[in-house]
Amino acid sequence: MLSARDQAASLLHLDSSHSGDSVTRRLSARFADAWRERHGPSGHRYRDLAADPVPPISPAYCALGRRVEKNGYVPPAKVDALIETEAEEREWALTLPLIERFTGAGTVLIGAPMYNFSVPASLKAWIDRITFPGAFTDPDTGESVLRDKRIVVVTARGGAYGPGTPREGFDFQEPYLRAYFGGLGVAEDGVTFVNAEMTLADLVPHLARFRGMAAESLAEAREAVVALASR
C-alpha cells in the first residue's frame, strides 16, 4: 500500500474519447503536463480507454459480486477466497488491478467527451468494472476509503449545456458523474469539472455564430486545468 505522501503524488489519467485529437485529450494532456512539472513523472499512470478498452462485465462478474455482497464487507484482498469458477477467476483478474490503481491514486483525471448527452461507453465500461461490491469500503468501519480522493473531469460538449442554457436539462454527463463518485464516498468538494462548450462551432455551419463563445470556453478550460494541476 502506498504511503499517504506517495498517494498524494500519484495521478491516474484516463482518456475515453474515440477521436485522436479531441478537445478532452488535449485538455487532459495539458493537465498531466502541468502535474508532472510539479510532482515529477514517476507517479503518472495513463490508460486510453478507447484504444485499450476495459472488457464489459459478464455474468461471472455479477455472480462473484453477489456472493461477495452476501458475505458483508469483503476487502478486495480477500475476494479470491470466494471465487468458485475459472470464469470468475478471469473476471477478478481483470478487475482487481483497476480497483487497486484507482484506489492508490491521489488524483484521478478523466477526459470525458459528451456522447449523446452522457459519457462514452469506454468510460462506462471502466466504471462498471471498478464498482465491485465492497471494493471501496473499510471493512472495520463501513466508511468509504475514497473520502479524500480528488477527481478532475475534463469534458467537451458540442453545444452549450451550462446553467441557464436551453439544453441545460439535457446534460446527463456531469450530474451522472457527480452522483456516481459521490455514491462511492468521494467528498462533494473532491470532484471538479472543467467543461469546454460549443466545441462543434468551428465544424458545423449553423453553429458558426457561436465560435467566439467556443474560443472563450476553451481558453478558460485551458487555464483551469493548469491551475488545478498546480495545486
Listed in sequence order, the residues at least 6 apart from 145 whose beta carbon sits closer than 8 Å to its beta carbon are 103, 136, 137, 138, 185
The reply to whether 114 sits in an annotated binding site is: yes
Residue 148 clears pLDDT 60, i.e. is over it? yes
Whole-structure pTM value: 0.93
- Burial annotation 105-125 (CB, 10 A radius, 16+ → b, else e): bbbbbbbbbbbeebbbbbbbb
Coil, strand or helix at 41:
coil
CA 82 to chain centre: 28
**What mean pLDDT value characterizes the chain?**
94
Q: Are 12 and 2 in contact (CB under 8 A)?
A: no
Please indicate if the annotation marks 116 as binding a ligand: yes
Tens-place pLDDT, residues 43-54: 999 999 999 999
148 closest CA partner among 204, 115, 178, 188: 188
pLDDT at 20: 83
Nearest to 231 by CA among 131, 139, 109, 111: 109
- Give the structural domain span for 146: 4-229
- Domain with residue 87: its CATH number is 3.40.50.360
Number of domains into which the chain is organized = 1
At 231 the pLDDT is 83
State yes or no: pLDDT of 22 exceeds 60.
yes
Using 50, 70 and 90 to split pLDDT, how confident is the model at 21? confident
Asked if residue 31 belongs to a known ligand binding site, the reply is: no
Q: What's the whole-number mean pLDDT along residues 174-201?
A: 97
Q: What's the pLDDT score for residue 3? A: 47
Using one digit for the tens of pLDDT, what is the confidence trace for 75-103?
A: 999 999 999 999 999 999 999 999 999 99
